[in-house]
Amino acid sequence: MNEMFSSYTIGTYKRFPLAFVKGEGAKLWDSEGKEYIDFLSGISVCNIGHCHPKLVEAIQKQAGLLLHTSNLFHILPQEKLAERLYNLTGMLSFFCNSGAEANEAAIKLARAYGKAKGRYKIISALNSFHGRTFGALSATGQKKYQEKFQPLLPGFSYALFNDLSSFASLMDDETCAVILEPVQGEGGIHPATKEFLQGIYKLCRERDILLILDEVQTGLGRCGTMFCYQLYDVVPDIITLAKSLGGGIPIGAMLAKPEVAKAFAPGDHASTFGGNFLATTAALAVLDIIEEEKLCERAQVIGNFFKEKLEELKKIFPCIREIRGIGMMLAVELDSPIAREVVSRALEKGLIINATSDYVIRFLPPLVIKQEEIEKGISILKEVLNELL
């Protein structure tokens, strides 16, 4: 089967032996014409579904007008997007091209902000994920991603997620920031508890430490609100976004409170492609679609339906140990290491899911997915679990 595909790319990915060629809503088709239900959204990128006609039209139109001029000049859709994000968060934006880059910008801004007070240390959570570039990788509290690349950036330490005293014990007068995912994504869908995130927020305020929330995976409707932090009654100092922001066009953003953003002066940070015409036009269309189609509310409603269906499965299959998640960011933890086998069997039957470990299956469906599509996907999952047990 593999002979079908080229092997001239560097071997950083273990890929399934198939290629998709077409998508619509929560459906994908492969090169053989086989249809799939998508419970993954390209890892929480296609929140508005595949090939949403409004996004397609916006991109096509912009492609014919202008793609790129550089940040030496004003880029009108970039400014419009920043205004839009300001109206949603009260924050100013810096645009880049990915989640890792957004976190790099956040790390640099936190360092710049802390500089005058001699603060440079950053605390992150064990089991977190913030990206693959050196700064973001240094923030990522997982040995398996870091091991080969030591030594990493100095000044990072790791505390237990959802354990306030673990974080408190690492804070000192040199700490400039705490970086957290409101729901750990790659780590297996672990939501922060309200007590924990509110406690961190309070500690950070008291000690003049910046709170960076990495909403690269949780952002833009996924958890039932535009940003996941809105569910927690906390106000971060910096937010990072990427994945779903461009609906499939690469874009990242670092948002910061104006008083924090001031720590960056012209020349301190930049990105050639960051916030270019195509990417920011796409992001504007994505925000329009999320608002017009009330996809945040939809993520709550359909997410509850999805969770109920998973609870029904749990009653039938004792191998399901736990169901976790918020809105349309859900996971099932199994009591035996068969998650990857479940994923490949589901794929054979036309369902796209993903394993974050040998034990955890992750679900990140497009927010536009239909109830029948969820039901069909769940019935495939049921078949697979029946086969394996």
Ligand X SMILES: *Cc1c(COP(=O)(O)O)cnc(C)c1O
Q: Is 347 helix (H, G, I), strand (E, B) or coil?
A: helix
Residue whose pair of structure tokens reads 């071997």 in the numeric block: 11
Query: What is the closest distance, in whole angstroms, from the C-beta atom of residue 168 to ligand X in the complex?
Result: 23
What does the angle CA 165 – CA 358 – CA 45 come to, to the nearest 5 degrees? 80
Beta pairing, strands 35-38 & 351-352: parallel
Q: Phi and psi of 153, rounded to 5°?
A: -60, 130
**129 tagged catalytic:** yes
Give the containing element (helix H, strand E) for 202. helix 194-206
Q: HSE, CB side, 13 Å, CA atoms: give it for residue 8.
A: 1
Annotated catalytic, 30?
A: no
CB atoms closer than 10 angstroms to residue 34? 12
303 to 39, 58, 224, 362, 367: CA distances (angstroms): 12, 28, 8, 13, 9
Which residue from 52, 119, 121, 130 is in contact with ligand X, where contact means CB under 6 A? 130
- Shortest separation between residue 285's beta carbon and ligand X, angstroms: 19
H/E stretch holding 252 reads: strand 252-256
Closest chain position to ligand X (CB): 99
Active-site residue, 243 included: yes
Element holding 324 (H helix, E strand): strand 320-326
Cβ-based nearer residue to ligand X, 179 or 346: 179
In the complex with ligand X, the residue whose CB is nearer, 42 or 77, is 42
373: contact with ligand X by CB under 6 A: no
Pick the closer one to ligand X by CB: 100 or 261: 100
Tokens of 288: 């329009």
Q: Nearest-CA neighbor of 43 among 4, 125, 93, 98?
A: 98
- 307 vs 130: CA distance, rounded Å: 26
Residues 181-240 that bind ligand X (CB under 6 A): 181, 185-186, 214, 216-217
x/- mask, ligand X, residues 87-126, rule CB under 6 A, reads -----------xxx--x-----------------------
What is the spatial distance between Cα 17 and Cα 2, in angstroms, rounded to a whole number? 6
Nearer to ligand X, 29 or 145 (CB): 145
- Looking at 38, 161, 167, 214, which residue is catalytic? 214
Measured from the CB atom, is 197 or 216 closer to ligand X? Answer: 216
Applying CB under 6 A, the site for ligand X has a residue count of: 15
Residue 254 or 290 with smaller CB distance to ligand X: 254
Closest approach of ligand X to the CB of residue 151, in Å: 21
Window of 70-78, 119-127, 180-188, 229-237 that interacts with ligand X by CB under 6 A: 180-188
- The residues in 231-290 that bind ligand X, with binding defined as CB under 6 A, are 242-243
Report the C-alpha gap between 44 and 3 in whole angstroms: 30
Of the candidates 95, 156, 237, 243, the residue annotated as catalytic is 243
Binding residue for ligand X (CB under 6 A) from 25, 77, 114, 131? 131
Catalytic residue among 94, 129, 196, 306: 129
What are the residues binding ligand X (CB under 6 A)?
A: 98-100, 103, 129-131, 181, 185-186, 214, 216-217, 242-243
List, by residue number, the catalytic residues: 129, 214, 243
